[in-house]
Each structure stands twice: as structure tokens, then as C-alpha cells.
Structure 1
Amino acid sequence: MAPPSSPTDHHIVALQADFIKIPEFQLPAPYTCTTTLYGQTSLSELHERIHDASILVLSALRVDAEALSPEVTPYLKLIVIVAAGTDCVDLEACRTRDILVSNCPAANTEAVSEHAIGLYFSTRRRVLRAHTLTRAGEWPRKKTLVFDCLNHDGTHPLTCQEEVAGIIGNGAVGKRIAQLARGLGMKVIIAERKQRGDASAPIRSDNEQGRVAFDAVIKQSTVLFIAVPLAPSTRNLLSTAEFEAMSPHAVLVNVSRGGVVDEEALVRALQRNQITGAATDVFAKEPAGPENSPLLAEGTEDLNLVLTPHLAWATQQTLVNYERLLKETVEKWLVGEFMNVVT
């Protein structure tokens, strides 16, 4: 790949094309482009692959300040993150060099929200444990598996009509999860930003009196959905203090970013039966394995902990939405129209 030959010539480099359908760009005159696709990219390959790019397309690959230095990316003008989260790119480094960063918000709202509800049911009803025991032939041996799938205190699961669903994060995904939860019969409360609050305050309906103090949502929820972006203010948003304050019947579902939940504190809370269960699609370090994630470490196998490998977004409609937004973002940027600007 050669560097751009003129200001109207662009090199588009897609670093994770296995996960993103790259469209045919229709550029207005006098602009031209060449497109280079890499199915997946390791960090060791990153600098060489992005050196001649003027437009960079990625979904979740870490691009740090060094990669964004003039020495590594001398021609870079635009980064399109084909995802909602932007924590993978050093935005301050982009600001310093006037590199525009855009993302694709709301493209995966339906997919992620539905996955969150699926994780809730899997955890609340101990679906994976029931499946494993049934496949192992334990049903005829024990005559019943009902007692193997009870809560840690020996009680049966709650129904949706008994649930108080706390929503932390009131963006597109949080709002959609709230709609789905209401449709299932849950009472929904939307958390304010984390601050000192009165956890003894009465439950207020989100569509009547607005949002509820963060501490009150933590204490009063029986299922807690996490749908906030990862930022300095949300890192370890839920840790030891929050788990100690939660209902012992509570189930936690995280479809935001792994760093929002303190993973070691979550494992301790499950081991100590402070909460009933948890499910996550995201991890502090990805790809996650026993060597780098407390959630997969030895001793966690029997916890009521449902794990999926960051694939809540992966539906046909999400890919259609991503392709459309990527195409529109690049083509409009060339004529001075900026979409979904992050920085």
C-alpha cells in the first residue's frame, strides 16, 4: 500500500473486516480512494498496516497514542469506529492532531438489548446448569433436578412480574432494555448518575417522576442491567460496596464494557452469596480466558455466572446498520458533513 498521492486521494484501511462488511464507497469528484481490507489485526501488525492510511476503519481494536503519532500515521485524517463504544481509541491523541473520530451509535441497539434479556433469563432460571445436568443424565438418576436449580438460599426463582429492573445507563440500549423489561411485566427504575443518594428512598416509576438515585437503584433492584460506556467516571462503577448493598436475590447483567464492573469483586460477591447470579457479554481484558480474567479463573465453574464472548451485537440487522453508517460517514465527511462525531 502506498501513501495518498494527493489531498483528494484517500487510502481506506479496514483492520477488522471479518466483523464489518465494507461497502463500495461512492466518492464525489474529485475524490478517489483505494481500500485495503484485513480480516483481523494483531497489535504487532498494527503500525505497519496503518502507516499509509488516511481513513481508518475498526470495531474494537486498541489504537493508542503511539499508533496515532505523526511517525506511525502521518496521513491519518478520519477514524470510523464501527461500534458504539469508543474507548478503544485514544481520543485525546486524535484531538491533538485534529483527526476526526466517528462512531456508529444505536446500530446494535436491538441486538444488544435482546441479548441482555436472554442473559437475564439464563441466569435467573439457571438454564445452563439445568442443561448441563440434563445432558449428563442426572434427571433419571435423581428423579428431579428442581432442587439443583434453586437459588443459593433454597428459594425458587422470581417471575418477571416480581422483578424490579434497575437500568444503569439511559442511552439507546438502556432505554430499549427498559421497554423490553416493562413488556415482560417488570417494574423499571432508571438510575441517576452515581452520586451520594438515599438508598432508603421509595421506588419511583421512571415514567412518572424521573430517574432514581444510583444508590437506591442498587439497593432496590432484583435485576440490574448495565448499559453505560466505559469512561474514567464509569470504571469499576460496580464494586465491593455496591455488591454488599444489593439484594441477595439480585441478578446482574452487563452488556456495556467489562471495565465497568470490578470483576474480582463480582466473583467474591457470587462466592459469598451476596447476590443470586450474574451474566456478562464483556470483559475487562478481551479475548478473555482463565489466564487473564477473574470470571474464568479456577473455582468459578460452579457459580451462577453466565458468560458470552462479546457477541451481543452480532445479528444480521446490526451488520446492515453498520455498513450503511460506515458508507454514509465516509462519503459525507468528504463533502464537509460530519456524522456521529466523537472528537
Structure 2
Amino acid sequence: MTRIVFLDRGTIGPAVSITRPKAKHEWVEFEQTDEHEVVQRCQSANVVITNKVPLRSDMLDRLPDLKMISVAATGYDVIDIAACREIEIAVSNVRGYAINTVPEHAFALIFALRRNIVGYRQDVIDGKWHDSGQFCFFTHEIRDLAGSRLGIIGEGIIGQAVASIGRALSMEVVFAAHKGVQGLGPLYTPFDEVIETSDVLSLHAPLFPSTRNMISTREFELMKKRPILVNTSRGGLVDEAALVTALERGQIAGAGFDVLTSEPPKVCNPLLSVLDRPNVIVTPHVAWASEETQQTLWDQCVGHVDNFLAGVPTNTLT
């Protein structure tokens, strides 16, 4: 009988219906799994489902029965794809499931930062409205989105959905060419130009060695328009120490991040030192997590298991 192990059920919301594969199987489920527990828990497993629990080559070498990994996410950097390919373990990920929820969250951050919602809310709590003696007061800058330039880094389905919202708001939308790459055609604007001229920068790129820290000191120094920087994609795309320095120097107008390099953040994460700033918003990697979207993700994830067991694997990465 096929043995299926789900390593981190706790990463999927409690309201989601965790349907199981149609084929006859043994199901083993854990709320969360530490790295040192992976090999023991996956012994005799034929299929493993994971969201964020890593499966590295040294672990895979000790799991001779493993034939398929279904990743309950789009990002798959937690899986050693090269090792899986070498020992013929199929790996599938979910794709295109967050086309509504992530763009909506990105624009929630953009609106809040562009209009300084957090700062004004705190001012009201602190009694500044009462003390002003007027019907309104002006302690924080407020800017319209209409007519501003939205620079998008990442041209996939999420980036395209963000662009659609931006155009609906009368923003000028530009897609950045890949950093350091020229000649990608008229649909793309040179990376440095997007960095220099955007009023809002929204990141929607995967995390690869080539994209790690693609926004760092050099890029912040290029930001002539003091943009809002929003990252609802992957932690690690932005050098967080350089980000804090950019905030302190006024090189950017604000930062809205749903993802960090390490999650949950380590106590030494430099962003934790600026969370009290009104122009900094950090949410706990929930841009993807509308209930509708989580159900779609799970249905696709378990569907890949069904398809693999039926001999027709889908969304394969190996």
C-alpha cells in the first residue's frame, strides 16, 4: 500500500479541507517537522508532501522507498532538485493558485504605505487629532497612485496580475528586465532604469542564486524617486540590512514586506529594529493565505499525488 507522509499540516489553515488521494493509501500527518525528524518520519514513505520542510540530498539518500514529493507551494528551494533528478524522485509544485490573493495583499501594502495609513492611525490613537484643534492635520505625506510609475520585478502570472491592478488605478506599469541581462525586447525596461524611475517597486520573482539580494546597497542608491518597496514574493530577494540603512537614509519612502530571509524571523533580523516606524509594515507571510486560495493550493497539491499514482505526473520539476 502507498504510504503518504504530510510533514507540515500546520502550514495550511484550519479551515481548509484536507482531502486525500483517491488511490488506496496509508496517510500519516504531522503538524510540523524539524529537519532532524525528517528521515525518521519519512521512513518507508512512497510520497511526501511538504510546504516548507527541507528535503536535502543527505536525507533523500536515506529514503530508498521515496518516489514522489508534492510541494504545497510554488517555491521549491527547500527541495534538492538535482538529487531528486539523479535518484529519480518525481517532484511537483503548485502553480498559478495565488493570482488573486497575492496581488490584493501587495496593493493593500501599497495603499497603506502610499497614504500613510499606519502613521495616521497611530496619531489618532495618540490623541493628535484631538490636540490639533482642526478637522484634520498633516503629519505624514499622502500621495496618489494614479499617474505614478509601478515597477514590477517578475513577469509571471502574479506580476501580470499586479500590473492589471496598477493599470486599473491609472498607474504607469513597467516590467524590469532581469538584473544584468540586456536585450530582452520591448516588453521589458532595463533593470536599473526601473529601479531609478519607479514610485512603487513590487517584487514577484523566484529566489535563485542569481536573484538573492538583487536589491541591495547599489540599488537603493539608484532610487532617485524614493519609492515604496513591496515584497510579497520570496525572502532573500532584498538585503535586509541594506534595506534598514536605506530607510534610515531616506532613500525609500517605505517598505511593505510579507516575506523575510528567515521565517519566523531570527531575533537578529535587522528589520525587527524598525517595526515601530510608520512607513514599515511586515506581515507574517500571509499574502497567499486567503481561505479560497489555500483550498485551491491544497486541491492542486493532492491532485499531483493522484496524477502521479495514476502514472501521469503533473507540474513536474525533475
TM range (shorter): over 0.9
- 1:162 partner SS: coil
- 2:59 partner SS: coil
Within 2, Cα distance between the matches of 1:178 and 1:217? 14
Instruction: Indicate if the aligned counterparts of 1:263 and 1:294 stay in contact, CA closer than 8 A.
Output: yes
Supply the RMSD in Å over aligned alpha carbons: 2.0
Within the candidate set 243, 246, 250, 1:269 is matched to 246
- CA shift, 1:303, in A, is 5.8
2:205 is matched with which residue? 228
Alignment of 1:294 with 2:257, yes or no, is no
Alignment of 1:327 with 2:302, yes or no, is yes
- CA shift, 1:196, in A, is 6.0
- CA shift, 1:306, in A, is 0.8
Instruction: Indicate if the aligned counterparts of 1:285 and 1:292 stay in contact, CA closer than 8 A.
Output: no
Distance 1:143 1:54, change over 3 A: farther
- 2:58 partner SS: coil
1:22 is matched with which residue? 18
Within the candidate set 181, 188, 194, 1:217 is matched to 194
2:312 is matched with which residue? 337
- CA shift, 1:266, in A, is 0.7
Instruction: Indicate if the aligned counterparts of 1:83 and 1:107 stay in contact, CA closer than 8 A.
Output: no
Within 2, Cα distance between the matches of 1:275 and 1:17? 38
Instruction: Indicate if the aligned counterparts of 1:271 and 1:303 stay in contact, CA closer than 8 A.
Output: no
- 1:12 partner SS: strand
Alignment of 1:278 with 2:270, yes or no, is no
- CA shift, 1:197, in A, is 6.2
Within the candidate set 265, 274, 285, 1:310 is matched to 285
Instruction: Indicate if the aligned counterparts of 1:248 and 1:273 stay in contact, CA closer than 8 A.
Output: no
Structure 2: state its 5+ residue gaps: none
1:148 is matched with which residue? 139
Instruction: Indicate if the aligned counterparts of 1:222 and 1:247 stay in contact, CA closer than 8 A.
Output: no
CA deviation string 1:132-153 (max 9, x = no partner): 2212223212446743222xxx
Distance 1:292 1:45, change over 3 A: farther
Distance 1:35 1:292, change over 3 A: farther
CA deviation string 1:165-211 (max 9, x = no partner): 0010001110100001111111100111112669xxxxxxxxx9411
Within 2, Cα distance between the matches of 1:80 and 1:217? 36
The residue type paired with residue 293 of structure 1 is N
Alignment of 1:50 with 2:39, yes or no, is no
Distance 1:149 1:193, change over 3 A: same
Within 2, Cα distance between the matches of 1:58 and 1:271? 38
CA deviation string 1:184-241 (max 9, x = no partner): 111100111112669xxxxxxxxx9411111111111110010000001100111111
Distance 1:149 1:331, change over 3 A: same
Within 1, Cα distance between the matches of 2:31 and 2:261? 23
Within 2, Cα distance between the matches of 1:80 and 1:146? 53
Alignment of 1:108 with 2:98, yes or no, is yes
- CA shift, 1:288, in A, is 1.2
Distance 1:146 1:162, change over 3 A: farther
- 1:11 partner SS: strand
The residue type paired with residue 138 of structure 2 is F
Instruction: Indicate if the aligned counterparts of 1:194 and 1:214 stay in contact, CA closer than 8 A.
Output: yes
Within 1, Cα distance between the matches of 2:211 and 2:54? 19
**Aligned residues between the structures:** 313
- CA shift, 1:127, in A, is 1.3
- 1:260 partner SS: coil
Alignment of 1:259 with 2:236, yes or no, is yes
Within 2, Cα distance between the matches of 1:311 and 1:91? 26
Within 1, Cα distance between the matches of 2:137 and 2:158? 34
1:205 is matched with which residue? none
TM-score by length of 1: 0.86
Sequence identity, in percent? 35
- CA shift, 1:22, in A, is 2.7
- 1:306 partner SS: strand
Within 1, Cα distance between the matches of 2:94 and 2:182? 33
Alignment of 1:123 with 2:113, yes or no, is yes
Within 2, Cα distance between the matches of 1:300 and 1:330? 41
- 2:138 partner SS: helix
1:75 is matched with which residue? 65
Alignment of 1:194 with 2:179, yes or no, is yes
TM-score by length of 2: 0.92
Deviates most, 106-115 or 47-56: 47-56
Instruction: Indicate if the aligned counterparts of 1:79 and 1:100 stay in contact, CA closer than 8 A.
Output: yes
Within 2, Cα distance between the matches of 1:303 and 1:68? 45
Within 1, Cα distance between the matches of 2:224 and 2:43? 52
